[in-house]
């Protein structure tokens, strides 16, 4: 475990974001410990698929049920695994460091900087229900003292607080607040952000299903759940959109639409995507309580969605065995 002493120099805020950043799952062993070997293989698979970034210990990574040492270890492994394949530039490591405690988030962000994370993904504080002035102060404190560029993560369905367009645009004026993962599902808010953001401030969809619509409006990419399963297809979708090949982008969006929906059907994320990875033979489906694995009765539609997306999966009986 790292400490917050002997910090590296402040990282510049010139990091660019775009394309596909994968919101990585956290695999567990049968006894509930981190499965480091599987995590490393999953990161290597993402790098080989050509994703632009990887994001450990976010929502999909089950950060609320990870201890601080576990989160730090996963960030360290993500940086090391993404670096060892020799791909240049290596994918940007966007480390989840957000909590509902500003001091704790600053400390977590500093610790993430030590092994070489490039950016901090900071979720809006949950449970406390801060108002807009409080949200602004929270993010400014992390930008000033956290030692990493910051991406705001706005997901009101999980936090019960929305970072408004007006608040976000003020935050975007800070040189080390470099983007937003927007999962509000509020098109009016998203349009205002895309219209009025300063140059260089990245807007990333926080929902796979919104990737194409938002990129058509000028967003740079997505922090994706589906790219755990289909990284090459998500890269193809985003590359087509960034190139203005809307016909190809639409075709891939339609091909993946059923999977986008299945990943959030029947249980909270990441239970469905872990069930999918188990069917693909890539990882186990264990989640930490209070989550439970996806019900068996809900797995056949998920497997059908994977097949429609072009994934070869084992028959359900083989998965259960």
Phi, psi of 287 (to 5 degrees): -125, 165
Our measurement of the distance from residue 11's CA atom to the centroid of its chain's CA atoms, rounded to an integer in Å, reads 21
Q: DSSP letter for 93, please.
A: E
| Residue-level length of the chain | 321
Residue 182 and residue 151 in contact, taking contact as beta carbons nearer than 8 Å = no
For 281, left (φ over 0), alpha (ψ -120 to 50), or beta? left
Instruction: State how far the Cα of 91 lies from the Cα of 82, in Å rounded to an integer.
Output: 7
Which parts of 28-176 are beta strand (E)?
Answer: 53-55, 92-96, 119-123, 150-154
Q: How far apart, in whole angstroms, are the C-alpha atoms of residue 154 and residue 18?
A: 17
Query: Catalytic annotation on 181?
Result: yes
- Look up residue 217 and give its two tokens: 């409006």
Q: Rounded to an integer, what distance in angstroms lies between the CA atom of residue 288 and that of residue 297?
A: 20
Choose, from 126, 127, 139, 153, the residue flagged as catalytic: 153
DSSP state, 206? S
Q: End-to-end CA distance of the chain: give it in Å, rounded.
A: 37
Q: Is 139 a catalytic residue?
A: no
Catalytic-labelled residue, pool 127, 139, 181, 274: 181
Cα distances from 45 to residues 49, 76, 278, in angstroms, run 6, 17, 15
Catalytic residues: 153, 181
């Amino acid at each position: 475990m790292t400490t917050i002493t002997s910090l590296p120099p402040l990282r510049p805020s010139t990091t660019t974001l775009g394309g596909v950043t994968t919101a990585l799952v956290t695999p567990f062993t049968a006894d509930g410990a981190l499965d480091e070997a599987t995590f490393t293989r999953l990161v290597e698979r993402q790098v080989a698929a050509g994703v632009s970034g990887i994001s450990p210990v976010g929502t999909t990574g089950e950060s609320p049920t990870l201890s601080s040492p576990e989160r730090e270890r996963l960030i360290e492994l993500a940086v090391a695994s993404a670096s060892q394949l020799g791909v240049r530039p290596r994918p940007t490591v966007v480390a989840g460091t957000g909590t509902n405690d500003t001091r704790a988030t600053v400390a977590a962000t500093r610790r993430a900087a030590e092994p070489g994370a490039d950016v901090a993904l900071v979720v809006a504080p949950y449970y406390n229900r801060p108002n807009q002035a409080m949200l602004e102060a929270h993010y400014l404190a992390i930008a000033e003292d956290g030692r990493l560029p910051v991406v705001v993560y706005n997901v009101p369905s999980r936090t019960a607080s929305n970072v408004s367009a007006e608040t976000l645009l003020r935050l975007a004026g800070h040189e080390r607040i470099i983007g937003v993962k927007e999962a509000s599902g509020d098109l009016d808010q998203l349009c205002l952000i895309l219209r009025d953001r300063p140059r260089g401030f990245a807007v990333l969809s926080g929902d796979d299903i919104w990737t194409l619509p938002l990129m058509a409006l000028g967003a740079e990419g997505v922090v994706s759940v589906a790219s755990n399963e289909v990284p090459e297809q998500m890269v193809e979708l985003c590359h087509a959109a960034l190139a203005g090949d809307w016909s190809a982008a639409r075709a891939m969006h339609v091909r993946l639409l059923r999977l986008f929906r299945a990943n959030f059907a029947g249980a909270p994320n990441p239970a469905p995507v872990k069930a999918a990875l188990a069917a693909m033979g890539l990882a186990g489906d264990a989640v930490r309580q209070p989550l439970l694995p996806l019900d068996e009765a809900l797995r056949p539609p998920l497997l059908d969605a994977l097949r429609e997306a072009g994934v070869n999966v084992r028959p359900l009986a083989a998965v259960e065995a």
